[in-house]
Structure 1
Amino acid sequence: MATNIKHRKGTKAMDPEGNMTLSGHLKELRNRVVICAVIYIVAAVGFLTISDQLINFLTAMADGVYNFISIDPQEKLIQYFRVALIAALVVTIPFIAYHVYAFARPGLKKSESFFFGLVLVMGLGLFVVGVMFAYFISLPFMLNFMGTLEGADYIVQTTSIASYVSFCITIFLIFGAVFEMPLVVIILSRMGIVSPEFMRKARGVMIVLIFFVAAVITPPDIVSQTMVALPMCLLYGISTVLCKIFYKKPLAADDEEEEADQDDED
């Protein structure tokens, strides 16, 4: 009896050809979403217990430069919850990426499955590298520069903890996005939109653009701008190499070549 019930439950999720039905896909998606939600909730509760240490981790970059204050009665408590929820999201993202990959893998070809997995892993890895670069190199220089500006002696360098946390999160997101440049180039080259030749020809223009972007997102001193621009130039060089590896001609061009070959044979 139990065996028959199991068999019936399994057949409801499969069609006569052995493929999963829409209800089966929705059930699988629901289960994966529930798993990710549970992981996020558990991580959030765990990080709430050490939220003060997370705040200390962020403020360590500006130690001795700024005096932190809490303007509103609830501001300090809100920032504790804020950093805990963001930290929980960071921990949960790899699990979300895995479940996205596992859910999409059955419908992909072997080459597509490999490329999709590579994109997810590279995306996470590059974002982490960008955030680490911002935390250990860029942010300390920015904060020290802005905090040690010459001015009136009666101006005390203080900032609210909410403003400081927002500033740090913004910089982390900017640098995490900037370090995704190789991944973006890989995807565009795989689609045939960007070619190695284009990357070589645009090198001079891109270097100028990179230094302009670095000047916009950093304080107006040459040291900070250079420390941001040089890694971006290095990433552009890495992107050019990756473009050569992953470049794929547009389908239209491939079809024209096949038709030309057939005409030659005729």
Structure 2
Amino acid sequence: MDGSVSIILNSKIQVALDQYREEEEEEEGGMSFLDHLEQLRWHLLRSVAAVLVFTVAAFLAKSIVFGKVILGPSRVDFVTYQTLCKVSNWLNVPALCIDVLPFTIQSRQMTGQFSMHLTSSMVVGLVVAFPYLFWEIWRFISPGLHLQEKNAARGAVFFVSLLFFAGASFGYFILAPLSINFLSNYQLDPSILNEFDIGSYVTTLIMLVLASAIMFQLPVVIYFLSMSGLVSAAMLRSYRRHAIVVILIIAAVITPPDIISQVLIAMPILVLYEVGITIAKRLEKKRAKKEAAENRDN
């Protein structure tokens, strides 16, 4: 009799546990691998659609996007050059004023202008749609995070987008104009004229802008690495010298071969690295306070 009672109780407990697991899976979504793929497909489709919409808008606004934005740093009336000339007059340092860009842009291929029109439109569409792209990615990833991780990553879309546009603006208004000025004035011999192909100019501009935008994500990367416990503030401080060397190497790779451009891209990245150390230190303090509170409760 006792054995039958225990069997009945065990069966009821097992049924209750199975029901609890089913309810928990339903609350978490209970999606299969194919369901996740379907969800990912829709996120990607919406992201591609957003990029296409902005790409078409940029393609139609050729006179603004290409005439003023893309070709802006190639003209002396660009806002960066005008600002440098004003600073030059204020400081009485004529060397700072950039009033001549001794180069011309040519298209040496039959499809050169059309292909660069398409390329520049797609890049503009990608840059403008970036916050929505990251938001779609975050919507796909966030359901798989724990509540604590979601709270810790609150505002990720805003800060990632902010750093992306800050980096792109730095690359477009600071790094690109000074690099173009250096390359246009660099001559092996006065008899050699600088006549740049449109493809080379657009590729260089895009590389500088996007590289800066990506490099400015360093604090976000450090934040998530610190959250996962892979890095610490002490570790980042101990490897500061190594980080400086790596940053200088990366700056040398993504910028033209002049020391000014390399220093310009390296300086803000070094500042962001120090910001990352501060972020990691604050996370460690919060983690220590939480563990101390839990120990007191126990």
TM-score bucket (shorter structure) = 0.7 to 0.9
1:175 & 1:101 partners in 2: Cα distance? 22
Q: Is the 8 A contact 1:192 1:249 kept in 2?
A: no
Counterpart of 1:111, as a letter, is Q
Cα offsets for 1:171-198 (capped at 9, x unmatched)? 2232222222212211221121211111
Larger radius of gyration: 2
1:25 & 1:130 partners in 2: Cα distance? 33
Corresponding residue number in structure 1 for 2:234: 197
Q: Is the 8 A contact 2:232 2:281 kept in 1?
A: yes
Q: Residue 77 of structure 1: CA displacement?
A: 0.9
Q: Give 4+ residue runs of structure 1 displaced > 6 Å after superposition.
A: none
Q: Is the 8 A contact 1:51 1:81 kept in 2?
A: no
Q: Residue 238 of structure 1: CA displacement?
A: 0.7
Asked if 1:49 corresponds to 2:55, the answer is no
Asked if 1:61 corresponds to 2:98, the answer is no
Asked if 1:135 corresponds to 2:147, the answer is no
Cα offsets for 1:68-94 (capped at 9, x unmatched)? 111111110111111112222223332
Structure 2 unaligned residues grouped into runs of 5+: 1-20, 76-100
1:248 & 1:97 partners in 2: Cα distance? 29
Q: Residue 216 of structure 1: CA displacement?
A: 4.5
1:92 & 1:165 partners in 2: Cα distance? 20
Cα offsets for 1:95-116 (capped at 9, x unmatched)? 2222232334344332222334
2:243 & 2:35 partners in 1: Cα distance? 48
Aligned residue among 155, 159, 162 for 2:199: 162
Q: Is the 8 A contact 1:44 1:87 kept in 2?
A: yes
Structure 1 unaligned residues grouped into runs of 5+: 1-14
1:208 & 1:34 partners in 2: Cα distance? 40
Q: Is the 8 A contact 1:101 1:117 kept in 2?
A: no
Corresponding residue number in structure 2 for 1:123: 160
Asked if 1:145 corresponds to 2:156, the answer is no
Counterpart of 2:283, as a letter, is F
1:212 to 1:73, Cα distance in 2 relative to 1, 3 A: closer
Q: Secondary structure at the match of 2:241?
A: helix
Cα offsets for 1:1-27 (capped at 9, x unmatched)? xxxxxxxxxxxxxx9734444376555
TM-score (normalizing by structure 2): 0.69
Aligned residue among 80, 98, 101 for 2:117: 80
| RMSD between superposed Cα atoms in Å | 3.1
1:16 to 1:26, Cα distance in 2 relative to 1, 3 A: farther
1:182 & 1:105 partners in 2: Cα distance? 20
Counterpart of 2:61, as a letter, is I
